[in-house]
Amino acid sequence: MSRFFKVCLIGDFAVGKTSLARRFLYNEYQADYQATIGVNISKKEIHLTDPVPVRMTLVIWDLAGGEPFTPIVEAYYRGAAGALFVADITRPATVEHLSHYIEEFRQVSPDADAVVLLNKVDLIPDHAVEAFDQEPLREKLGLPIFLTSARTGYNVENAFLTLARRLLEKTNNA
């Protein structure tokens, strides 16, 4: 039997949350920017084999970006087992806002696990990606960081599966 985990995609507008979800769910990419309102909910069953084979379903709540923290946003966060905080690596302000989103999310779901995705790495040169020092941000946010590209698919599945493994591990430990 598959276990269900609600995970939220959170971050500023136009950082690529919906594109990341679509890449993970359907392995497809749409270049046009289409604003998300409210929340889009999708599911994906995944099979993990290490250490033992297990099926789990991620219920992905793709939230509208850049909304103020209201009771409505709070309602969207409720019951989340995990979160993927997304920023656009080419827009420094979206990275700066991450700590704010993490703090708000923790108020509603303090026990949830999370990872950070710095998306759109395809827009910066390869040498800049290689030279990017994640450590200061990792220390500041206290979360694993993934450089991703929804356009190319780079590291997207890895980021989602890492969160899934962490959620499973946490549940098993509990």
Residues that bind other proteins (CB under 8 A): 4-6, 13-14, 33-35, 37-43, 57, 59, 64-66, 71-72, 75-76, 78-81, 91, 93
Smallest gap from residue 166 Cβ to other proteins (A): 15
Q: Where are the alpha helices (DSSP H) in the chain?
A: 17-26, 71-77, 92-96, 98-108, 126-131, 135-141, 156-173
Task: Kindly tell me which of 32 and 130 has the beta carbon lying closer to other proteins.
Answer: 32
Cis peptide before 136 (omega within 30 of 0): no
> Taking a C-beta distance cutoff of 8 angstroms, is the pair 40, 64 a contact?
no
41 CA to centre of own chain: 14
Smallest gap from residue 139 Cβ to other proteins (A): 27
Element (H, E) at 122: none
Task: Kindly tell me which of 73 and 145 has the beta carbon lying closer to other proteins.
Answer: 73
Contacts of 51 (CB under 8 A, 6+ apart): none
Smallest gap from residue 72 Cβ to other proteins (A): 6
Smallest gap from residue 40 Cβ to other proteins (A): 5
Task: Kindly tell me which of 64 and 114 has the beta carbon lying closer to other proteins.
Answer: 64
Smallest gap from residue 100 Cβ to other proteins (A): 17
Q: Which of 87, 93, 36 is nearest to 65 (CA)?
A: 36
Task: Kindly tell me which of 20 and 155 has the beta carbon lying closer to other proteins.
Answer: 20
Task: Kindly tell me which of 33 and 100 has the beta carbon lying closer to other proteins.
Answer: 33
